[in-house]
């Protein structure tokens, strides 16, 4: 069992960065559930001394994701936010960060309430369709972007942004959680670091919390590896093992997520109660041209604006039967959430509305159930939500 860079990604999700366990011949990487390792002599060991610093199960996950992203090294953490915080800790005091204006609410909260008070300067810019030269000025230390973004699914030109960032000496970080390496590989487009919440599509079963950063160059990997050990926000071996297990079916799952999403997008676009639909690989989407140039597909993330006020939008979300109302995404089951009340509630209302996150914006994570069942579920919830008495918040 081994993987080559010449193998297609459907093969590498199963074998990438992994080998037969040498002692027992186990086909699957074992769970090394240990905190420490015996040393035959003081300060002489096999390369493993303490599981915060090294764990073979976590390392197997790191190697696999690094292989899929085409990077030199992966560094795994206990959550996506632990991964992003560690990346930001590599910056010098008073660093200048250009961040996409549409990002995960937890990222925004971290930037505003943790790193801005430390003296960092943060500018939020619409990086979709913007001129990179004017958006990324001289003196920028880091460019942080999601593409597609959360929750508006806006698309940034990673090639153009990376070229400009390199011209001014800035590091480019791309959160690739939504697209996954199945459909987009930012390092090949010029990015320096790729970040994932492994909680989402990489694991794919809503039973793990984790994060990972993949570096394209050892110079970017070295400080992350130091901070992983020094700060200690690592994931445990069982979480790493479950994520590695989920990765085996990533290519199959992403294909089904996309098939279902395309059918649902077509249905939503024709619905009279829907004002707008966002899906980057729909020809009607404003990001279609750029998405088509840098993505080979897109999974199950769909955002749409229900022609409704906040109260009706909340009723709609509470009335689905198959879609589960929950703050996550990327699992085999279909989820939905209302950014205004949930994932982006930490963004001030005035700023949220200015960014285009309307009260009626709904984010769907399309699972791998039958598409017709999912459409029927959305249809009945939209119809029932018209009645103000159809649903009420729990007492």
Residues 77-88 pLDDT 10s = 999 999 999 999
What pLDDT is stored for residue 6 in this prediction?
A: 84
Give the mean model confidence (pLDDT) for residues 175-184.
98
Tell whether the model's pLDDT for residue 330 goes beyond 70: yes
Q: Which 3 state secondary structure label does DSSP give 172?
A: strand
Query: Which residues belong to the active site?
Result: 52, 104, 175, 200
Residues 190-224 pLDDT 10s = 999 999 999 999 999 999 999 999 999 999 999 99
- What CATH fold (topology level) applies to the domain 9-247? 3.40.640
State the sign of the Cα–Cα–Cα–Cα dihedral 169, 215, 83, 349. Answer: positive
Residue written as token pair 């509630």: 345
Q: Contacts by 29-35 with C-beta closer than 8 Å and gap 24+? A: 29/56, 29/57, 29/60, 29/241, 29/244, 30/56, 30/57, 31/57, 31/237, 31/238, 31/241, 32/56, 32/57, 32/237, 33/237, 33/238, 34/237
Residues 268-297 pLDDT 10s = 999 999 999 999 999 999 999 999 999 999
Tell whether the model's pLDDT for residue 3 goes beyond 80: no
**Cβ neighbours for 40, distance < 8 A, ≥ 6 positions apart:** none
Tell whether the model's pLDDT for residue 265 goes beyond 80: yes
What pLDDT is stored for residue 278 in this prediction?
A: 98
What pLDDT is stored for residue 37 in this prediction?
A: 94
Residues 116-173 pLDDT 10s = 999 999 999 999 987 888 999 999 999 999 999 999 999 999 999 999 999 999 999 9
Q: Domain segments of the chain: what residues?
A: 9-247, 251-385
With left for phi above 0 and alpha for psi between -120 and 50, is residue 330 left, alpha or beta?
A: left
Rounded to whole angstroms, the Cα distance separating 366 from 359 reads 21
What pLDDT is stored for residue 4 in this prediction?
A: 67
What pLDDT is stored for residue 125 in this prediction?
A: 95
Rounded to whole angstroms, the Cα distance separating 117 from 168 reads 25
What pLDDT is stored for residue 2 in this prediction?
A: 57
* CATH architecture of the region 251-385: Alpha-Beta Complex (3.90)
What is the percent of the chain where pLDDT is above 70? 99
Rounded to whole angstroms, the Cα distance separating 375 from 268 reads 9
Tell whether the model's pLDDT for residue 17 goes beyond 90: no
Give the dihedral of Cα atoms 297, 200, 195, 76; nearest 10 deg. Answer: -140
Residues 93-111 pLDDT 10s = 999 999 999 999 899 999 9
**Cβ neighbours for 6, distance < 8 A, ≥ 6 positions apart:** none
């Amino acid at each position: 069992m081994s993987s080559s860079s010449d193998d297609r990604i459907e093969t590498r999700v199963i074998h990438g960065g992994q080998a037969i366990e040498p002692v027992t011949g186990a086909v699957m990487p074992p769970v090394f559930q240990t905190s420490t390792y015996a040393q035959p002599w003081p300060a002489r060991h096999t390369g493993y001394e303490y599981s915060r610093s090294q764990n073979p199960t976590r390392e197997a996950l790191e190697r696999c994701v690094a292989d899929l992203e085409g990077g030199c090294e992966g560094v795994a953490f206990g959550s996506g936010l632990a991964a992003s915080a560690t990346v930001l800790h590599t910056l010098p005091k008073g660093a200048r960060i250009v961040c996409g204006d549409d990002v995960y609410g937890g990222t925004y909260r971290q930037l505003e309430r943790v790193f801005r008070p430390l003296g960092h300067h943060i500018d939020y810019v619409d990086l979709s369709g913007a001129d990179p030269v004017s958006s990324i000025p001289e003196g920028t230390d880091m460019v942080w972007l999601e593409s597609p973004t959360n929750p508006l699914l806006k698309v940034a030109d990673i090639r153009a942004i990376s070229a400009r960032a390199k011209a001014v000496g800035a590091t480019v970080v791309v959160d690739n959680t939504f697209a996954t390496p199945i459909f987009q590989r930012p390092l090949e487009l010029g990015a320096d670091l790729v970040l994932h919440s492994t909680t989402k599509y990489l694991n794919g079963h809503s039973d793990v919390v984790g994060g990972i950063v993949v570096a394209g160059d050892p110079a970017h990997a070295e400080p992350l590896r130091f901070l992983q050990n020094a700060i200690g926000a690592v994931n445990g071996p069982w979480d790493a093992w479950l994520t590695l297990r989920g990765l085996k079916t990533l290519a199959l799952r992403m294909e089904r997520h996309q098939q279902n999403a395309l059918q649902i997008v077509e249905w939503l676009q024709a619905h009279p109660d829907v004002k707008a639909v966002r899906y980057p690989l729909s020809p009607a989407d404003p990001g279609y041209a750029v998405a088509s140039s840098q993505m080979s597909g897109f999974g199950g993330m769909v955002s749409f604006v229900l022609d409704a006020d906040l109260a009706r939008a909340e009723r709609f979300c509470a009335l689905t039967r198959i879609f589960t109302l929950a703050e996550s995404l990327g699992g085999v089951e279909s989820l939905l959430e209302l950014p205004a009340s949930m994932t982006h509630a930490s963004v001030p209302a005035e700023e949220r509305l200015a960014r285009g996150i309307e009260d009626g914006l709904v984010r769907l994570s399309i699972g791998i159930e039958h598409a017709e069942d999912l459409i029927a579920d959305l249809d009945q919830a939209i119809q029932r939500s018209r009645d103000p008495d159809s649903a009420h918040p729990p007492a």
